[in-house]
Amino acid sequence: MHEASLAGGVLRVVEQAAATEGFARVTMLRLEVGQLAGVEMRALQFALESIAPGTLLASARIEYVELPGVAWCLPCGQRSPLARRGEACVHCGGYQLQPVEGTEFRVSEMLVEDE
């Protein structure tokens, strides 16, 4: 389950930001997760809930924003929505698709408090 390592990475990002900015806790954390990022959302939620106690994320509300997948179709040269890898282009039915959006996994926003 690589979502546990992703959760650990999110916590490290928060801890580094706290060390730089000097805040004591996070009240809200927003994560952007692309449909094509290969992340199982329920597993990520579980992993973050599991590591949060005793950390800067202990009382944080965590919001998840799922970003749609979009690919460039090599045969027809058009952009095609792509909910998951292996789907065909909606325009020509081709399978030679290069993802251009929806592979993101990032912390997009944090609301924080000082002590």
pTM of the predicted model as reported, rounded to 2 decimal places: 0.86
* Structural element, H or E, at residue 45: helix 41-51
Q: Provide the sign of the torsion angle of the four alpha carbons 107, 108, 114, 115, taken in this order.
A: negative
Class of domain 3-68+102-113 as given by CATH: alpha beta
pLDDT in tens, 23-63: 999 999 999 999 999 999 999 999 999 999 999 999 999 99
Q: Provide the sign of the torsion angle of the four alpha carbons 18, 21, 23, 29, taken in this order.
A: negative
In the predicted structure, residue 16 carries a pLDDT above the cut 90: yes
The pLDDT value given to residue 115: 74
> What single-letter amino acid sits at 52?
A
Question: What is the Cα–Cα distance from 74 to 25, expressed in whole angstroms?
Answer: 46
